[in-house]
């Protein structure tokens, strides 16, 4: 099949990942108090220090208020109605993939994620997270030969407690914000990754998140540590069934790059966006932050946000090490009633630090798209550089695009550049494509893809194709 055909096929579908897998699951009853946290911790067989950490976070959370400053409208969340832990049965330790519930393997196959190592052609190692737990990780053994640790967070707590304890909460403390505190209290699983000094990770590491059970929230936690002079590229994908109620996804991702290390973190977010009238869909309230701790370290975020009813997140970089580099490349698409308030924070602390922000917002239907970003150059950050470019594209006249760039500079040697454009997809562009035989749907897809090119070119090859298809699907019905 050619790309155009694939795109067309995708464009003809509605949200295709909306199915529910029929597996038995162990769930805690809905509701949240200290006993819930004790139970989660006990179910996971956690050490006391982690339980303590959770409880401290929970007590802090109780003192906080659900924030309302973003430019999104949403239903208030009843935190007592959420199920905080749900795991597919049987919950025994898995020695190999053969023991994974075939229903689950099939689910991931359906999502295009083959967990069968034999079948995987490309060099991607996958950690599959289903509701609250990691169900399988591929290529762990091969990676272990290089000293790379890649697997579920729960496993890491058991097998590498020192590393987890040292870095957990070091970039995003539980006091950071309301959802980060909630996550620290109730997080169930997620991925953990450690790249030893001098190692260049030979394959893409990937986590695939799937919410399945009704009424659950997903609170995963990801921690990636790249030791001195190491390099890693990490991918994250996510889907959820179609349900009428809003489901909360409040993840925390922490990245730590030590001296000379590079972390590239890519996300293709395709949570269920709700129906055309805005019923249902995921509330995607995520805290993602990377710390460029060492000299000449680099953290690069690339995100393609097409799903979720509401997306609210700012993958950020703290540029602590001298000459460290932060990058943020983002495509956010909102169609129908979707809302996105996303952007980044680049905190320049070290000397000669530099950052790049490229944000592409696409609004269709009655979608609302907000870029909100902060470039913060601290006093000691001599010779800091930033370049920001925020472009918005509007499809139709019922949608909105908003840009809030905040710039705070406390060092006079800083050079900060900001460019912003807003364009409306042109009737003349569409007619031009039509006149060459290209259908309107394909034309819109093509024009939007062209608009996003600078971001897509940052994605690993495999994801770039997926991202293009996703845009086509998400734009379905946006032109009439």
Partner 1 sequence: MSGKKENSMLEIKGLCASVEGTEILRGIDLEVKAGEVHAIMGPNGSGKSTLANVLAGREEYLVDAGTVQYNGVDLLELAADERACEGIFLAFQYPVSIPGISNAYFLRSALNAIRRYREESEIDAVDFLELVRSRMDLVGMDEKLLHRAVNDGFSGGEKKRNEILQMAVLDPKLAILDETDSGLDIDALRIVAEGVNKLRKQERAIIVVTHYQRLLDYIVPDQVHVLSEGKIVRSGDKSLALELEKEGYSWLQADDAKAGNNA
Under the binding rule (CB under 8 A), the answer on residue 4 touching partner 1 is yes
Say if CB 281 and CB 273 are below 8 A apart: yes
Residues 326, 328, 334, CA angle at the centre, nearest 5°?
A: 165
Pick between residue 379 and residue 436 the one whose CB is nearest to partner 1: 436
Structure tokens at 441: 């749907």
Q: Point out which span in 129-137, 277-285, 329-337, 450-458 binds partner 1 (CB under 8 A).
A: 450-458
Q: From the CB of 9, what's the least distance to partner 1, in Å?
A: 13
Q: From the CB of 391, what's the least distance to partner 1, in Å?
A: 10
In the range 423-442, which residues lie near partner 1 by CB under 8 A? 426-429, 431-440, 442
Query: CA-to-CA distance for 49 and 35, rounded, in angstroms?
Result: 16
Under the binding rule (CB under 8 A), the answer on residue 420 touching partner 1 is no
Pick between residue 5 and residue 277 the one whose CB is nearest to partner 1: 5
Give the one residue of 113, 447, 459, 472 binding partner 1; rule: CB under 8 A. Answer: 447
Q: From the CB of 358, what's the least distance to partner 1, in Å?
A: 12
Q: From the CB of 432, what's the least distance to partner 1, in Å?
A: 4
Under the binding rule (CB under 8 A), the answer on residue 68 touching partner 1 is no
Under the binding rule (CB under 8 A), the answer on residue 57 touching partner 1 is no
Burial of 48: CB neighbours in 10 Å, binned 0-12, 13-18, 19+: exposed
Under the binding rule (CB under 8 A), the answer on residue 397 touching partner 1 is no
Please tell me the count of residues contacting partner 1 according to CB under 8 A: 26
Structure tokens at 93: 């330790």
In the range 283-322, which residues lie near partner 1 by CB under 8 A? none
Task: Give the number of other Cβ atoms within 10 Å of residue 375's Cβ.
Answer: 25
DSSP secondary structure letter of residue 200: B
Give the one residue of 452, 464, 470, 472 binding partner 1; rule: CB under 8 A. Answer: 452
Nearest to 186 by CA among 43, 295, 320, 312: 43
Q: What is the Cβ-side half-sphere exposure of residue 86, based on CA atoms within 13 angstroms?
A: 21
In the range 238-267, which residues lie near partner 1 by CB under 8 A? none
Under the binding rule (CB under 8 A), the answer on residue 453 touching partner 1 is yes
Query: CA-to-CA distance for 345 and 339, rounded, in angstroms?
Result: 20
* Complete DSSP assignment for 209-263: EE--STTB-B--EEEEEE-TT-EEEEEEEEE----SSEEEE--EEEEEE-TT-EE
Burial of 55: CB neighbours in 10 Å, binned 0-12, 13-18, 19+: middle
Under the binding rule (CB under 8 A), the answer on residue 419 touching partner 1 is no
Under the binding rule (CB under 8 A), the answer on residue 413 touching partner 1 is no
Structure tokens at 339: 């809302």
**Sites of contact with partner 1 (CB under 8 A):** 2, 4-5, 426-429, 431-440, 442, 446-447, 449-454
């Amino acid at each position: 099949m050619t790309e155009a055909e694939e795109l067309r096929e995708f464009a003809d579908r509605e949200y295709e990942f909306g199915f529910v897998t029929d597996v038995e699951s162990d769930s805690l009853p809905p509701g949240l108090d200290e006993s819930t946290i004790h139970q989660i911790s006990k179910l996971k067989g956690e050490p006391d220090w982690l339980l303590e950490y959770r409880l401290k976070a929970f007590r802090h959370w109780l003192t906080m208020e659900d924030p309302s400053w973003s430019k999104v409208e949403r239903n208030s969340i009843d935190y007592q109605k959420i199920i905080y832990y749900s795991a597919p049965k049987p919950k025994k330790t898995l020695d190999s993939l053969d023991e994974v519930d075939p229903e689950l393997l099939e689910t991931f196959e359906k999502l295009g994620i083959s967990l069968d190592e034999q079948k995987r052609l490309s060099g991607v190692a996958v950690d599959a997270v289903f509701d609250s737990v990691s169900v399988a990780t591929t290529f762990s053994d091969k990676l272990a030969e290089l000293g790379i640790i890649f697997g579920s967070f729960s496993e890491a707590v058991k097998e590498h407690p020192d590393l987890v304890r040292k870095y957990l909460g070091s970039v995003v403390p539980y006091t950071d914000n309301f959802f980060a505190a909630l996550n620290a209290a109730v997080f169930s699983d997620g991925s953990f990754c450690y790249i030893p000094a001098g190692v260049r990770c030979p394959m893409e590491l990937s986590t695939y998140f799937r919410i399945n059970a009704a009424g659950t929230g997903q609170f995963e936690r990801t921690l990636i540590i790249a030791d001195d002079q190491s390099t890693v590229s990490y991918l994250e994908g996510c889907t959820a069934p179609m349900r009428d109620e809003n489901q909360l996804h409040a993840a925390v991702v922490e990245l730590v790059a030590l001296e000379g290390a590079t972390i590239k973190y890519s996300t293709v977010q395709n949570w269920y966006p709700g129906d055309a009238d805005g019923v249902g869909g995921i509330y995607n309230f995520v805290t993602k932050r990377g710390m460029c701790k060492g000299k000449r370290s680099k953290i690069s975020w690339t995100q393609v946000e097409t799903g979720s009813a509401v997306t609210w997140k700012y993958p950020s970089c703290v540029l602590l090490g001298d000459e460290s580099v932060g990058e943020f490349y983002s495509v956010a698409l909102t169609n129908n009633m979707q809302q996105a308030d996303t952007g980044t924070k680049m905190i320049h602390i070290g000397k000669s630090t530099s950052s790049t922000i490229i944000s592409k917002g696409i609004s269709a239907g009655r979608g609302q798209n907000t870029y909100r970003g902060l470039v913060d150059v601290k006093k000691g950050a001599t010779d800091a550089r930033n370049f920001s470019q925020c472009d918005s594209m509007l499809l139709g006249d019922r949608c909105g695009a908003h840009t809030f760039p905040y710039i705070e500079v406390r060092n006079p040697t800083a050079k900060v550049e900001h460019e912003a454009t807003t364009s409306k997809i042109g009737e003349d562009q569409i007619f031009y494509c039509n006149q060459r035989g290209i259908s309107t749907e394909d034309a819109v897809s093509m024009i939007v893809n062209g608009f996003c090119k600078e971001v897509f070119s940052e994605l690993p090859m495999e994801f770039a194709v997926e991202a293009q298809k996703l845009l086509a699907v998400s734009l379905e019905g946006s032109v009439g």
